[in-house]
Amino acid sequence: MSAGVDETDEVREAVEPDGRARSRHRWRTVAFVLAPLVLFALLLATGLGRDPRELPSELIGQPAPTFSVPRLDAGGTIDLGDLHGQVVVVNFWASWCVPCREEHDALAAAWDRYRERGVVVLGVSFEDTREAALEFRDELKGDWPLADDPGSRTAIAYGVFGVPETFVIAPDGTIAAKTTGAVTYEWLTDEIEGALRAGNVE
């Protein structure tokens, strides 16, 4: 290939011996080399918007795994079965988890806004000690129910990979939405409104 290019180059130089052909030829070589590289860079760019960990959760639309967990902030237990017909936000968190601090205000705001409409926010403690969890609550305040999860049974049933993870359970007992990482107020309001609407349609 390069031999062929060389020949035409030499022929043209013989015809028009000024430097123009030479320079034109130079640019052509540069463009020829760079074109595939630009294509390669564009291919890599398609990967930019993509989150390799964002795999569709198998749980969406499935019946939420039932659980009965002891409360942390008060006595008694919380049974998911008792909350049928209500929208339940299950938030897995831990006192040692930094993003859990970030999302605290969003959860508090959503709880304040929707508790009147029968929405329950439930914080399920993940791999944490009772004392540390209560200390966290004392420090950051809030009054939505917190529960312990002995043996991480609930977390395992929900396939929790790392905290924080938040699930929204629709009134019909199916999982409507799931997110990993610090949850935002916008996400919570969108998903809760959606779940409430779905409940009204039925």
Partner 1 sequence: MPALVGTLSLALALALAVYGATAAIVGARTGRPRVVESARTAAYSLFALVVVANLAMLAALLGNDFSLRYVASNSSRATPTFFKMLALWSADEGSLLLWNLVLGGYLAAVAFRFRRRRPETFPWALAVMFAISAFYLVLVLGPTTPFATLATTPLDGRGPLPLLQNHPLMAAHPPFLYLGFIGFTVPFAFAIAALITGRVSDAWMRITRRWTITAWIFLTIGLVLGALWSYSVLGWGGYWAWDPVENVALLPWLMGTAFLHSVMVQERRGMLKVWNLSLIVGTFALTVLGTFLTRGSILASVHAFAESIVGPLYLAFLTLVLLGGFGMIAWRRESLRAEATFDTPLSRESVFLGNNVLLLVLTFTVLVGTIYPLLAEAVTGGKVSVGSPFFNRNTAPVALLLLFLMGIGPLLPWRAASPSAVLRRLQVPMWAAAVTAALLALTGAGVVAVIVFGLAAFVAAATVAEMVRGVQAQRRARGISVGAAIGAAVARNHRLYGGLVVHLGMIVAVVGVSWAALADRSSEVTIARSEIVHAEGYDLRYDGLTTREEPQRRVLVAELTVLDPETGDEVVRLKPSLNLYPSASEPIGTPSIRTGTPFNGMVDLYASLVTVENDTRASFRFFVNPGIGLLWLGGAVMAFGGIVAAWPTRPRAASPRGPEPMAERREEVTV
Q: By the criterion CB under 8 A, which residues form the site for partner 1?
A: 26, 29-30, 32-34, 37-38, 40-41, 43-48, 50-53, 55, 94-98, 101, 126-128, 132, 135, 139, 152, 155-156, 160-162
For partner 1, the closer CB: 11 or 34: 34
Please give the DSSP secondary-structure letter assigned to residue 157: H
> What is the radius of gyration, based on Cα positions, of the chain?
29
For partner 1, the closer CB: 120 or 178: 178
- We find the least distance from the C-beta atom of residue 143 to partner 1, in angstroms, to be 19
Asked if 112 contacts 192 with a C-beta cutoff of 8 angstroms, the reply is no
- We find the least distance from the C-beta atom of residue 201 to partner 1, in angstroms, to be 31
Identity of the residue numbered 118: G
- We find the least distance from the C-beta atom of residue 114 to partner 1, in angstroms, to be 26
CA triple 75-66-105, angle to 5 deg: 60
CB atoms within 10 A of CB 178: 19
For partner 1, the closer CB: 28 or 84: 28
Residues 6 or more apart whose CB falls under 8 angstroms from that of 104 comprise 140, 142
CA 64 from chain center: how many Å? Answer: 19
For partner 1, the closer CB: 120 or 163: 163
- We find the least distance from the C-beta atom of residue 190 to partner 1, in angstroms, to be 21
